[in-house]
Structures are given as structure tokens and as C-alpha cells.
Structure 1
Amino acid sequence: MKDSLTHRFMLFTTFVVVSIMLIHFTWDYRTQRAQATLEMHEKAQVITKQLIATREVIAKNQDRINYDSQGNFEFKHLNPAAIGMQIGDIFGQLTNYSIKQTRIDYRASCNAPDAFEAQGLLRFGQEPHLAEIWGEDVVGGERVFRYMVPLHMKEECLSCHGQPIGDIDITGHFKEGYKAEDLGGAISLIMPMDIFLQGMKVDVYRHLSFSLLLIGVIVISMYLLVTRLVTRSLGELKIATAQVGQGNFDIDLNCIKAQGEIKELAQHIQEMANQLKDLYQNLEAKVEKRTHQLELANEDLRIKQDELEAANIKLNEINTYKSEFLAIMSHELRTPLTSVMAFTDLLLQELPKDFIQERQNLNYIKANSQNLLKLINNILDLAKIEAGRLELKLEYVDMADVLGAIDSVVAPLAKKKGIVWEINLAPEVSLLRADPEKLRRVIENLAGNAIKFTPSGGRVEIQMTNAPRENWIIIRVIDTGIGIPPEEQEEIFERFTQVDSSNSRKYGGTGLGLALAKELVTLHKGELWVESEINKGSTFVVYLPKDPDKVD
């Protein structure tokens, strides 16, 4: 119940109303307190001014008071100070106020200043233009309003308080030596604040009672209004939506007594329930229809799957036949080619050197037989790789030996074509674990291609260094040849593919060398790629681990 909408709404409303009432109450209390203080201040001003006026009248009429009609002087003890003391006594008896004349060097003990008055006299002495001092204080355990005004010496006062200092005046006291306008004391008024505070309390209680009544009326009215217009309707909507959630769509929300947005919400829920009812009634038929369609689709999928499996089996058989055919043909062709090459060597040895044309023909036969044998070996290796029968014979290889063997084959070709040929091997990468023959074939194939596609006067270089990755090496075959277009740099590693079909006629070749090189590098768990620009040259990069068995 504490989390209900009504509870939260009423709690918020009560908080807002109470906050506003507290602000108004605080502001009203301070206003009344300020008004009461202002009234006491004005009243104190009137009382003290009346006493000051009385003193001035007495001071100005001293001669009339002390001289009789024959001109005889007789001091009547009705000077301003004495009259002020008498007025203070009578005023205190008639009221609960206290008024007196006070100064630091007082003559009568009843005029002795208390702490508040002494502080006031000190301020009047330090601040000559200060006209009054007032404030609240506690006297005898009672809250009072204190008010003081300064008394300055008039000409009439100097006869008793003036020069010379120490002479006896007519009252029998020593003169103080004051001059006109000197501070001669102050009038101090004490006014009880009970009557003012009591009036404030009555007003406060009246306002508080009215505020509490107003809060109660507002809260009860808001509660009834919210309950009737909001929460009751929402409760009915909650019950209806719960029934819909349980599958009961036969609800009627048109009878809900609601207005505005809640009425619109009820209409939307009613429409939703009607739509859900229609959907539910048609759901079984739709599910049956979709199930039948799914069964047909699954049957079609199964048929397609069977066809695909049959096609895969047939394709595997074709690949097997192709691999076996290529392996058999390659193997069967190697024997007669070897014989042809052997007989060619024998004829070259026995043929006299002056048979120049015949020896050129035999060398041509030998060179083409060697090229054909390389092609057959490449085809045989690719067939073994496809069949998964080509294995690496790993051993620790001195790359200086491998590159030396490559140099003995490629260097004459470069020299014959007028190409600068260089090999740069970093000493720290001379040893690695690999299949030396297959690695030699990879590098020799890349170097041979570089020589083939680099014109006379060009440059071909083999670089071998450590890779940034630990325990890996990089072999680069760099040439200044014709280059490879960006769109063909991936295709050249496919079988029977060259940079341009015209190149197969111009430069020769079958397009198997790079495909085999990539396969052999992959067997070593490495990578092979090319970086090239047209008419600027190419760099074939071989990225190899120093030990393939340690690569995950």
C-alpha cells in the first residue's frame, strides 16, 4: 500500500502544502516580530521624549520655582534630575515599565547604570552623533525591551554641573565641570515584552490552527479527487490487464468511470484485448499452416542437402581421380624424361665439338626436358598437397647453404640477362628448422620469376632478416621488374594464373610456381604475399617461423 500511486501522490502533495505553509508561517512570524519591535521602539521614543520635555520645562523655570514674589531665593529641590526621579518612581508604580536617568558618575544610587546602560553610555561617549540605543535583554528572568537616549548639557544645567570643578552647587553636591553639549548621562527605559509576545503567540496559534485546518482540507480533498478520478480507474485497468495476461480476453472497459487520458488508455486496452482475442482464435490455424509450410521447407532442405552431399561425394571422387591421374601421369612421365635427359648428356659427351648446330639442338632438348621435369614435379607436389600426402622433413637448416645453392642456379641466369644479383643474409638468422629442399624450391622459384620479369640492367636482391615478431624471419625477394597491378596481386597465387595472359607468351611459364610456393610456405605455417607497383618492381615477402612445431 505504501508503494501505491495514491500514497505517493498524497505524500508529495502533503509535503508541498506543508512546505508552503511553513514558509508562510516563518515569514508571517518574522513580520509580526518586526512589527512588534517597531511598535515598542515607537512607544519608547514617545515616553522618553515626554520625560525629556518635562526636564526642559523644569530647567527653564528654575527661577520661578526657587524665587518667591518678593524675590527671595529658596531652593525647592525641584530641579530636572529630582523631577525625573519622581516621575520614574510614579511611572513605575502606575505601569510595569521602568524609566530612569543614569550616568557613569551618578549622584544618587538609584541612578547607577547596569551593564546594558553602562555599555550604552560608553557608546554615546564614543559616538557623539548616536541618537538612541535599543535592543532586547533579559532582566530578572523576564524578556524586556531596552531603550536609551543621551542627555546633553544645556545652559540651564551648568549652574549645578558646570565650572568650576569641585565647588558645591545648590543641591549640596560637587560640580563635575561639564560644558554645554557635553554628555551628561542618558534616559533608560525598560519595557516588558510579555504583552507583545503574548499577542504574537495568539496570532501564531491562530495562523497555525488555520494552516493545519487548510492542510487537512487540501489533503482530504486531493485524496478523494485522486481516488475517484485516478486510482479507482487504474485499479480496474490493473484487474483487466491481469485477466488479459491470464488469457481472458472477454473484458469490458467501456463502463469504467474515467476521464481524459485514463479513458483513452482504457479504450486502447479494450482494442488490444479485442485484437488479441482475434489473434488467439486464429492462432491455431495459423500455427498449423506455418507448421505445414515448415515441414515442406524442411523436406526441400533435406532433398537439397542430399543433393549437396551427393555432389560433394562426386566432387571428391573427381578430385581423387584427378589427383591420382596427375600423380600417375607425372610419375610415368618422369621416367622417359629422365631417360631423354640422360641420353642427351651422353650424346653431348660423345658428339665432337665442331658439330655446333647438333650440340645446340641437344642443349635445347636438355633445357626443355629440365623445364618439363620441373613442371611435372610441381604438378606432382600439388597433387600430393591436395591429397594430404606431402609432408615436411624438418631439420636444422643453415640458410647460407640454401642460399648458396640458389645462387649457383640463379646467378648465371642473372649474368646472362645483364641483371645485378645480390644476396644479403643477416648472421643472426642463419639457422632455422625447416624442410631444406622445399624451402630452396620456394626461394628459387621466387628468384627465378624475379629474373624472368626484370629487364636487362635491372636488379634482383634476396634479403633475409629477423622479423619484429620473436622467433620469426622475413625473406624478401626484391626486383625492379614490370610490377603487378593491385587487382591481380591476389590472383597470381592461384594455379595456372599469370599477371597477364600475354605474359605467358612473352615470358613463358605455366602459372604453377607461385601457387606451389604459397602451398609450401603454408606447410611451414608461414605466409607469402607480394608488394608491387607497376613499372617499378615487386617484393615477394616470405614470413616464416624459426620452428614450425612451436607455432600454435
Structure 2
Amino acid sequence: MGTKKRYSMRMLSLRVAVAVIVVVGCAGAAYVLWSGAVQQETVHSKVLTEARTLNKEMQAAWDYIDEAQTAINTDKDGTYDFKNVYCAVAGKGIARRFTQNADGYVIRYVRENPRTGSDAPDDFEQRALNHFTVGGSTEYYEMAEMDGQPVFRYSSVLLVRNNCLDCHGAPAGEKDVTGFIKEGMEIGDVAGAVSMVIPVKSYVKGAGEEQTRSLVFFVGLALVVAVVLSLLLRRWVAAPLEQANRQLASENEEQSNFLAIMSHELRTPLSSIIAFTDIWDKSDREKDPEEERLVGKIRDNSHTLLNMVNNTIDVARLEAGRLEVTLDEVDLVDVMGAAMAVAEPLAMKKGVTLTKSVDSAIPVMHSDGEALRKILVNLATNAVKFTDEGGTVTVSARMAERGGAVELEVADTGAGIAPEDRERIFEKFSQAKATAGSGAVGAGGRYDKAGKAPGSGLGLYLVKSLTERLGGKVRLRSTVGKGSVFTVTVPVESTEASTDEEDGIRG
């Protein structure tokens, strides 16, 4: 028993540990997914902020050159002298120098109808120009890959302003001061776009390192929680359970001893009383009729009490896990004979016709013969007890239609059982209600003509429990006023799993 308890505690600890590991694993996986999404969003937000900052710096340089055009192209004496320095040239020069000095960064200016080959857009830049032309936001960006490295592509629109008209305004087709053909644009038209390529490798690496640190912290915290939880479970759950198990084992031992005492102190005297009545009945001396009646009542009531004591002890042993179910080879003819030896004297005394039959096709069963005998005894004696004089009780055994199982059937011609009582009568200490004017209400919970219940209400509970222990089931068909039929179906080859010591059945 101690080994079994320790094994149970180890199993409990193992199951708790597995549960904690599974929970921590699932939480860790969820955290990785969640933090990955958060880190990706963080990288996107940081690189977008950098792109917007660079765009503002490039736009500031562009605006400065644009505003300084007059000063640049006017000599000290006020003579206009174009120096070939204007916003586009300055912007492209700054972008080129920045691109050369910044590893992985690219800044360039593109337009729909490029004046030079360097202004021609690639696929991303063309999508950006189309987006700006249709209208909407003034920026366009996406994550991409260049030369096998992750990058962030960003583009910002360049709109035609007043100072742009000298080179790009009307009349279309005329050469501007730089020698290029004017496009005839108007203020607010899309002149082009600034395009940037920003490497994100450093951002991704930083995010990965941050995620790793967070994951290590999370796993460490989870392990600490798991250890603390295990210690608390051991102290507040496992230890009290061990104490409770020790107490239950002590109580079971006391109950087992009590049942042994009950078996000896009650059944032995009752058996002796029955034996003395049998000796008296077989004696040759002349017997007074009143004396015979009284002794007969002693014998009958002793049999009834012995049966009640047996059922009570069996139920107590069953619920205490001490009623063994021993599987062995069983000849159902012998079991039926032993059960009828108990029921036939009751039937003869009441004037009830009791018949029995066993199908010759039933093979030798692998079951518990004593359990089958108790099932038949309880069903048959109940049926006889609650069937009026002149009635019939039939006990039969046959192979089930689907094979592999045997059907034990006990049918009586009693008053039947009301529908509302058919489930309840299988409960412990349950009694069906008496039907007005009937001498029998139904087996296991029926009343005699005086309206008294002669049984303890344990017979059918024991029948159902034993049947289920053998892997079978009980069915009831009953018609009020016509009788009842109890059918017990048990397998030919029982495999009563609850005999395993771990389930505490054998004790």
C-alpha cells in the first residue's frame, strides 16, 4: 500500500511537472510569436522614422538652393549670370555624396519622363510615381530585398512650385536656361520623387538580440514560477493528500476488520438458527401445528435476514474496494443450479411456478461464478417474493444475438414497475412506490400486501454493480399489471479491468 501511495504521489508530481512544462512551452511559443510581431513592427517604425528624417534633410537642402537661386545667379553689379547651380543639381549632388559615404544607403531623384538616364525609375519607384499621380499620401514605402539583404524602400513626392516653372513650366517644348526642353507643368503637378534605400540589417539584428534577451528573461521567470509552484503544490497539495491517503488506508483497514467481524458475528448465528430449524423439522417427534407455524416463521425470517446481511456486507465490501471479482472458467449450468437451490424452496412455499432453462449453445465462460450466482439469486428470489400465488417466474440463459455475450433473463407475472421508478430502483436503498391494490410493485423495490417493503433495497443495486464489474449491463422491461423482465447481459470472456491494484478494488 505504501509503495502504491508513493507511486501515486510520483505520478501526481510527474503530471504536474508535465503540465507546467507544456504550459511554459505554449506560453513561450506564444511569446515568441507575439514578440516577433512586436519586434517587426518596432523595426518598421524605427526605419520609417529614419527615412522621414533623411527626407526632411534632403528637402531642406533642396529648398535652400531654390531660395538662393537669385543670389547665386546675380553678380555684385546686379547682372544676371546663370551659374548652372540649381535645386535639382544640388539635391542630386548631395544625394550622390551621401550614397558614396553611407554603407548600404542609396538616395536618388527620379521622374516620370527623365531628362537624364540617372533619373529613370525602377519598379518600386515607378509604383511610387503612379501612387503620387493618382493622388493620396505624399509618401510610399515597403520592405524589400537588395543584393540578398533586407532593405527599406522609401519614396517622397516632389511637387512643382513657383520656382520650378522657369525650367518645367510653359511654354511646353521651349528650352529652359539649362538647355532642357520645358514640359509645360503647372504648380502642384508631380515633378518627380526622392527615392531612398535604407539597410535594416542592424535594426533586425538589434531586434533579434532584444527578443533573445526578453525570451531568456521570460523562460527564467517561468522556470522560477514552475519551481515555486511545484514546491507549493508539494507542501499544500501533495503532503495533505499523502496524509489523507494514510488516513483512508487506516479507515479502510478498520472497515475491512469490521466486515470480517460482521461476517462472523452475524452470518454464523443466522446459519446456526437455520440449521437448528432444519434439525427440528426432520425430527420424528410429533409436532404441534402452531409450533410448526412458528418454527417455519423463524426459518423464513432467518433466511430473509441472512440474505439481507449478505447483501449488506457485499455492498459494503464493494464500496470499500474489498469485494473481489475473480475470473475463472465457469459452467453456467452449475451457476444456475446453485441459484435455483435458493429460490426453489421460496417458490414452493408461495405456490409460485419457477422454471429454468440454459441454452446448450452457451460455452464455458471466463467470468466470476460467484458474482453470477449472486446476480441470479437476487433477481430470482425478488421475483418469487413479489409474485402472488399461482404466478410464474422464469429464469433462463441464452446466447445474445450478436454473440460473444450471454443474456440472463428473469421474468415474473407480478404487478410490474411504474415508469418513474425504473431507474430509481437500481439505486442503493431505493424502494419503488406501492401500486394501489397490488401485492407486488416490482422486483427489488416492491411491497407486500400489507404495503411493507420486505427487502433492504440493496438487491438490485448489487446486481447492477456486479454486472458492470463483469463488463455487462442490466435492462428492464415492465408493464404495470402484467409483470417485469430483467435482462443481464455479460460477456462470455470477461476482462474485469477494475481488479487492477492501482484502482484499489482488491485492497
TM-score by length of 1: 0.46
- State which structure, 1 or 2, has the greater radius of gyration over its C-alpha atoms: 1
| 1:322-337 aligned within 5 A | none
Shift in Å, 1:104: 1.5
Distance in 2 between residues matched to 1:301 and 1:226, nearest whole Å = 68
Is the counterpart of residue 118 in structure 1 residue 126 in structure 2?
yes
Distance 2:205 2:108 in 1: 26
The correspondence for 1:141, drawn from 148, 155, 160, is 148
Equivalents in 2 of 1:108, 1:203: separation in Å?
45
Q: Paired residue for 1:294, among 246, 263, 274?
A: 274
Contact 2:160 2:186 in 1 (8 A): yes
**1:89–1:299 distance in 2 versus 1, CA, 3 Å:** farther
SS at 1:72 equivalent: coil
Q: How far did 1:227 drift?
A: 5.7
Structure 1 residue 270 displacement after superposition: 1.4
Counterpart residue number, 1:186: 193
Aligned pairs (5 A) from 1:31-430 = 31-96=38-103, 97-127=105-135, 129-223=136-230, 226=233, 258-259=239-240, 262-280=242-260, 283-299=263-279
Asked if 2 retains the 8 angstrom alpha-carbon contact of 1:92 and 1:99, the reply is yes
For residue 20 of structure 2, give the secondary structure of its aligned residue in structure 1: helix
Q: What is the number of equivalent residue pairs in this alignment?
A: 281
- Give the partner amino acid of 1:94: N
Matches of 1:136 and 1:201, distance apart in 2: 17
The answer to whether the Cα contact below 8 Å between 1:25 and 1:207 also exists between their aligned partners in 2 is no
- Mapped contact 1:120–1:133 kept (Cα < 8 A): yes
| Cα deviation 1:504-528 (Å, max 9, x = unaligned) | xxxxxxxxxxxxxxxxxxxxxxxxx
Q: Using the alignment, how far apart are the partners of 2:169 and 2:249 within structure 1?
A: 102
> What is the rounded CA distance, in whole Å, between the counterparts of 2:121 and 2:274 in structure 1?
111
Q: Is the 8 A contact 1:148 1:189 kept in 2?
A: yes
* 1:266-312 Cα deviation digits (max 9, x unpaired): 32331231232344356445443233133235557779xxx99xxxx
Higher mean Cα deviation, 262-271 or 58-67? 262-271
The aligned amino acid for 1:75 is F
Matched, 1:20 2:27: yes
Query: In 2, Cα distance between the equivalents of 1:301 and 1:162?
Result: 139
- The CA distance in 2 between the partners of 1:302 and 1:197, in whole Å, is 105
- Going from structure 1 to structure 2, the CA distance change for 1:215 and 1:302 (only over 3 Å counts) comes to farther
Do the aligned residues in 1 keep the contact of 2:39 with 2:211 (CA within 8 Å)?
no
Q: Which runs of 5+ in 2 are unaligned?
A: 1-6, 290-507
Q: How big is the shift at 1:205?
A: 1.3
Structure 2 residue aligned with 1:491: none
CA-atom RMSD in angstroms: 3.2
How far apart in 1 are the matches of 2:155 and 2:25? Answer: 42
Deviation larger for 176-185 or 47-56: 47-56
Does the Cα contact within 8 Å between 1:99 and 1:189 map onto a contact in 2?
A: yes
Cα 1:166–1:278 change in 2 (3 A) is same
Per the TM alignment, residue 186 of structure 1 is displaced from its structure 2 partner at its CA by: 0.7
Question: Does the 8 A contact of 1:103 with 1:113 survive in 2?
Answer: yes
More displaced 10-residue stretch of structure 1: 150-159 or 216-225? 216-225
SS of 1:144's equivalent?
A: strand
Q: Counterpart of 2:152 in 1: which secondary structure?
A: strand
- CA distance in 2 between counterparts of 1:141 and 1:110 reads 23
Quote how far apart the aligned CAs of 1:57 are: 1.8
Deviates more, 1:278-287 or 1:6-15: 278-287
Query: Counterpart of 1:152 in structure 2: which amino acid?
Result: L
Structure 1: gaps (5+ residues): 232-257, 309-552
Q: Per-residue deviation at 1:113?
A: 1.0
The answer to whether the 8 Å contact 1:168/1:175 transfers is yes
Structure 1 residues 61 and 8, CA, compared in 2 at 3 Å: closer, same or farther? same
SS of 2:33's partner is helix
Q: CA deviation at 1:219?
A: 4.1
Over 3 Å counting, the alpha-carbon distance change for 1:81 and 1:279 in structure 2 is: same
Query: What amino acid is aligned across from residue 78 of structure 2 in structure 1?
Result: G
Letter of the 1:146 partner, please give it.
R
Scaled by the length of structure 2, the TM-score of the pair is: 0.50
Q: Alpha-carbon deviations, 1:109-162, whole Å to 9, x = none?
A: 2222111000110111112x3221122111222111111111110110110111
| Corresponding letter in the other structure for 2:101 | L
**Displacement of 1:52:** 1.4
- Determine the C-alpha separation between the residues in 2 that align with 1:29 and 1:36: 10
Secondary structure, counterpart of 1:84 in structure 2: helix
Q: How does 1:541-552 map to 2 (within 5 A)?
A: none
Higher RCO (Cα < 8 Å, 6 or more apart): 2
Q: Deviations over 1:413-432 (max 9, x none)?
A: xxxxxxxxxxxxxxxxxxxx
Give yes or no for contact 2:145–2:151 (8 Å, CA) kept in 1.
yes
Deviation (angstroms), 1:85: 0.8
Partner amino acid for 1:111? D
Q: CA deviation at 1:65?
A: 0.7
Give, in whole Å, the separation in 1 of the partners of 2:262 and 2:102: 99
Q: What amino acid is the match of 1:47?
A: L
Pairs within 5 Å for 1:502-517: none
Q: Find the counterpart in structure 2 of residue 420 from structure 1.
A: none
